[in-house]
Amino acid sequence: MEFDDFKKFLDFLNHNKKDNENIVDNLLYFIEWCNDNNYEELLVRLNSEKQGGLGYNSIIDFTTRRIIITRKTIIKSIFEIGFVAGLGPFPYMILSKKKQQSKIKDSAKLQIEKILHDQNLECIINYNDILKIIIKKGSNSVVRNMFGSFITKNYMTIFTKNNRYEYTLPIKKNGEFNKMSYWMKSILPVEISLIE
């Protein structure tokens, strides 16, 4: 979706006077609008590290239609900075008071079709195949130093009819557990359970 297409959604939102409603409702309107207009857009992106540093790492993209898991290249492992609370660029813009093109210009270049044709694509999981997703706060990954104590990793398990997928989610690239899990629970069309 280009920014001009996104502006059509914003016009729809304003025309229907939905802009003052609950922000989660506005994101759900966006998902519905994307589905009605045949757009597949990124909702949440998480970074997973099976091994720290340059080891086996992946990107988990939750779109309006499915989950796409892609293995990170070495360049992405170094330079990929992640999104605010995992939210994709357009959902983030819907939450922003200043819906300006300059705020989304670079991030908007993410195209689902390009991700689907990436040579590092690992798997695609349709939402209909998911039984549940469990997100666990990484209480076993607490680091203590002179500034206090903090958790460095959280964990996510995706249960499907035939498989189980386990991921380690570093806090540094995915943000706080509460924010990340809030958006996932609020806008993704699957059952999400939290273990704190």
Let me know if domain 3-195 sits in CATH 2.30.29.30: yes
Half-sphere exposure of 131 (CA within 13 A, CB side): 8
The predicted model scores a pTM of 0.84
Strand pairing class (130-136; 192-195): parallel
Per-residue DSSP letters for 91-140?
Answer: HHHHH-S---GGGTTTGGG--HHHHHT-TTEEEEEEGGGEEEEEEE--GG
Reduced to 3 states (helix: H, G, I; strand: E, B; else coil), residue 183 is helix
**Higher local confidence (pLDDT), 140 or 1:** 1
Burial status of residue 164 (CB atoms within 10 A of its CB: 0-12, 13-18, 19 or more)? exposed
Per-residue DSSP letters for 18-87?
Answer: -TTS-HHHHHHHHHHHHHHTT---EEEEEEEESSSTTSSEEEEEEESSEEEEEEPPHHHHHH----GGGB
Half-sphere exposure of 83 (CA within 13 A, CB side): 26
Cα 196 from Cα 188, distance rounded (Å):
20
Residues of the chain above pLDDT 90, percent: 38
The 10s digit of each residue's pLDDT in 109-134 is 578 888 888 899 999 999 999 999 99
The 10s digit of each residue's pLDDT in 29-80 is 999 999 999 999 999 999 888 755 556 789 999 999 999 999 987 655 555 5
The 10s digit of each residue's pLDDT in 182-196 is 999 999 999 999 998
Which pair of tokens denotes residue 100? 């300006």
